[in-house]
Each structure stands twice: as C-alpha cells, then as structure tokens.
Chain A
C-alpha cells in the first residue's frame, strides 16, 4: 500500500542515529550490511563484474568522506555513512505505482515487496538521499531493511537483535532504537548531541538522525583551559622543530591527556 500509514503521536519509530563525530570511515558497517543482506530479506545483493574492471553492485550503506575547511583554513575529514533514513513522509512510498514500496505502521520501517515491484525506478528518483538501488539481475528495487529479519529474529540472542551495521561499528558511532519514544536512550542521545534531520529542505521527515561533528579544539575554543600544544613556528631550526614535535607526541607526566 503506498499511501503512508496513519500513525499516532508517540508510535514506535525504529531508526538509526549516526554520530558523525566518531565515525572513522572504517567501512565495517557497509561490509556487514552487505554480508547480512547477502542471505536475508533482500538476497542476493547482485554484484556484476566484482573482480573485473568496472565492478558494480547493490549496497544499502555507503560511507562517503568529505573534507571540511573552516574560515581559518583548518581542515578536517568527515566520514559520512549514507543509507535509508526510513522517513516519516517517505516520497519513495507515495510514488510507487504498484504498492511494492511501503512503510510499516507498527514500527515505521520502509520496505520493498520484491514480489510486487516492477522495477520502474521511480522510487529511486524520488529519494533525495539515494537510498534505493536497482538490481539488474532481479529487476526490482532494493534498500536498507533496518535488518527487519535480524531485529525481530527469535533465533538470535537478544544482544544480536540489532541492525548489522550497528553490531559491527567498532567506535559506537551507530545506535539503534525507538525514535518515537521521547524517553528512549537514543532519543536522549539525539537531544544531548543536537541530532538533526538530513537535508530537511527536502521535507521527507527522516527518522534516522545524524549527530554533528563536535567543534575542533583550537586556541579559539579551549573549553577546559588546557593549553593545547602547537608546533613551534617555522623560524626555528629543524632540530628544535623535531624536538618540539616529539615532546608533543610522547606522553609525559606534563602533557598526558
């Protein structure tokens, strides 16, 4: 059914919270997602020419990286995992002509019924985030299922009933929970860290929230009053530059963080 379900305030909205401050771009979430979905609801995830010149394939989670330069010319890297945000006002659901694309009323997960999908690709055009990909082999659209076959799976221990990407993340950058419950752990996390809707201008009301990178510590915003050691100016000679660098690098009683 491609009309969006009517849900009441406070209804269960399962989703992910992705912390852009601690994601290190290791790609473990992307790989574990691919591996889990190789055997589950959306299997197989087609790869064409995987060892050839132009490999192509379906991945539900892709980790981008960006370089951010601020006004001072300081740069930092941002690692950005992109996957379906299970939007409340999901345009991919309403544009589907067959009813294959649907949003579950009980938990808000957006899924594709591969038996109904005709592969017209309109849902992938409608999604501003590029969450949906077309499988050339199966002729249907595929997307993140929020591991619906893992989170409710009675054959797994409770601690494993999380999306594969959340289980795999080594830094704890990914969290899973009920964003419709204001008192849940991840709703509190979103409030504390000022989590936000991605590309809110597209008006999809995404469920998944992203936590912004924290400001970089530099002489402009020393929050703890601790003097941040900086490299000496280049007027000094190489030996003292090296010494200064070694001092900064090696932990001592004085500068141990």
Chain B
C-alpha cells in the first residue's frame, strides 16, 4: 500500500496525543491534580490529537465535506474513529476549563472523568486500528497484531514524551519510569512479533482463487500500458531489500534509544532527563515514522493478484 504522508502523520500524531492524554489522566486518577504540569500535558495531548486529525484531512479529495464522515458510525470503523476522536476532546477540555476557568471538580467527579477519558481514548485508538484491521483484502493488516500494536505504540509514545515534559519540571515519578520502560519493551516485542508473523504467515489469497481457474497461471498482457490508481495505491513498488535495514533502524530509533533514555535518565538525574529527553523524543518520532512507512509499504492488497502477484 502506498504510504501516504497524511495517513502516516495522522496515525502517529493521534496515537501520540491520546497516549499523552492517557498518562495525564492516569496521573489525575492517582491524585496528582491541581497542577499546571498535568494541564500542560493535557494541552499537548489535545494539540497532537487535533494536529493528527488535520493531517488526515490532507488525504481527502473533499476535506470540506469531512464532517459527513461522522454519520455512518453504525457500519464504518472510519466513521466510528471520527466520532470517538471528537468525543476524546471533551474530557481534557472539560478538565482544563473547570480547573482554570471555573471551580475545580471535587475528587470523586474528577476521578470519574479520568476513568471515562481513559476508556474513551482506548476505544478511539481501537477504532483507528480497526480501520486497517477490518480490511479483508489486506491480510498483512487483517489480524490481531494491528489493534495490539496501535495501543502499545500509543502508550509508548505518550509515556516517553510525558516523561521528558515532567523532567523539565523536575518531576520524576518512579511509577511513570516503570510504566514507560514496560511500554517500550512490550511495544518492541509486539512489533518484532508482527514482523515475524509477516515473514512466516501463509498466504490467504492466490491467483487461482482470484480468477477461479485452476492450473499454473501467470499474467500475460497487462490491461493497460502505464500504471493506474489501483497500482499506485495498492501495489507500492519499492526495493524489498530495504525492509530489513528499515526494521533495524526502527528498532534502534523508536525503541532502543528511548529505552536507554529511560534508564539513563533515571540514574543520571534531572539534568540528563532534560537535555537528552528532546533527542530521545525526536529519535522515537523518526523511528515511528519508519515503522508507519513499513506498516503501509509491506502490506499487499488482493488486487495485485490481477496484476501479476501469485499470492497475497
């Protein structure tokens, strides 16, 4: 599948924003309330989610009609994701509004708001993942790894950025260090597991099924002399030798360097946490862009069976 920049940045930023918000609401739930730091992290989360949604508009032929995409939540995961993303803005805006413009909530209500927000955010990430995982013609996405990886990468990216931000305020909660380290490790394991699955999985569709004819079949005359929308969108052509180097690069930038940062920041103190947090965050974001690119580029669509592939 063609890796569109708009979709890469949409999934990356929205996952990051929701992950950051989850860390903030988890902090609120565990009592760290009434602080500007939590407010700042929520603002960052809202900003990232909003930017991600704006990025997704670039992918559209008619972005001015995008509001219509909220109407078919009964059948469409994309519509459900749109609705949930809009709902996901409400708890942080409610908390920020009440905290700074009105009376702060009492503890109980605040805890309920935080729980609601966490549930809404997890559901939103799931809906985003299901846009891709629900597509049967793309076996590389149509499996349980897709929703799992979206959740873990959101948690990982949100916690790394939150950790750095809190270091700027010299706040270094041990719980967050543990959660972040676990998130990075789990996300790395799940990602490696997904890549391994792609490598060993049995093909779901083959050319004989695609045509309904038995025998040894190969493509003969193409239906058109130059590439068309289907080929450009579903049959992204790139050198397969690039996959392994990009996977290694992703592991290093998105997982190893951030994990090193977590460890060294814990033992190195606040100065280390501040100065190297930016680099680790940037490394993670670049690594996640690589990961997104691979997610799209390595996915094959069943239409390629009509254009020369033997199996998908």
Complex interface: chain B residues within 8 A of A133 (CB): 228-230
A158→B51 CA distance, assembly (Å) = 55
Q: Cα distance A135–B286 when bound, in Å?
A: 32
Q: Is the CB of A176 closer than 8 A to any CB of chain B?
A: no
Interface residue range, chain B: 35 or more
Q: Is B217's CB under 8 angstroms from A98's CB?
A: no
The answer to whether B223 touches A128, judged by C-beta atoms less than 8 angstroms apart, is: no
For A130, give the chain B residue with the smallest CB separation: B303
A65 touching B221, Cβ below 8 Å: yes
Nearest chain-B residue to A70 (Cβ)?
Answer: B215
Kindly identify which residue among B1, B61, B78, B220 contacts A140, using a CB–CB cutoff of 8 Å.
B61
B218 located at the interface, meaning its Cβ lies under 8 Å from any Cβ of chain A in the complex: yes
Which of B65-73, B147-155, B181-189 interfaces with chain A?
A: B65-73
Count of interface residues, chain A, beta-carbon cutoff 8 Å: 67
**Contact flags B222-234 to A (C-beta < 8 A → 1, else 0):** 1111111110011
B212 A212 Cβ-Cβ under 8 A: yes
Select A3's contact among B74, B78, B138, beta carbons within 8 Å. Answer: B74
Query: CA separation between A118 and B76, bound complex, in Å?
Result: 14
Separation in Å of the A220 CB from the closest CB of chain B? 14
- The CA-CA distance from A86 to B35 in the complex, in Å, is 57
Tell which of A165-173, A196-204, A237-245 binds the partner: A196-204
| A212 close to B213 (CB less than 8 A) | yes
Looking across the interface, which residue of chain B has its beta carbon closest to that of A198?
Answer: B212
Are the CB atoms of B62 and A78 closer together than 8 Å?
Answer: no
B79 within 8 A of A: yes
Bound-state CA distance A80–B234 (Å) is 20
Judging by beta carbons under 8 Å apart, are A134 and B61 in contact? yes
Task: Give the chain B neighbours of A91 by CB distance below 8 A.
Answer: 135-137
Q: How far is the CA of A213 from the CA of B214 in the complex (A)?
A: 10
Given A59-B224, A95-B76, A202-B302, do A116 and B215 touch, yes or no (CB 8 Å)? no
- B63 within 8 Å of A (CB atoms): yes
Complex-state Cα separation, A202 to B210, whole angstroms? 9
Q: Given A58-B229, A80-B306, A201-B204, are A125 and B213 neighbors across the interface (CB < 8 Å)?
A: no
**Given known contacts A68-B213, A96-B72, A119 and B220 CB-to-CB distance under 8 angstroms:** no
B96 CB-CB contact with A under 8 Å: no
Residue ID in chain B nearest A122 by CB atoms: B78
Within 8 A of B (CB), among A147-173: none
7 A-B pairs besides A69-B217, A93-B75, A139-B60 with CB distance below 8 A are A3-B72, A4-B75, A53-B226, A62-B224, A95-B135, A127-B137, A128-B137
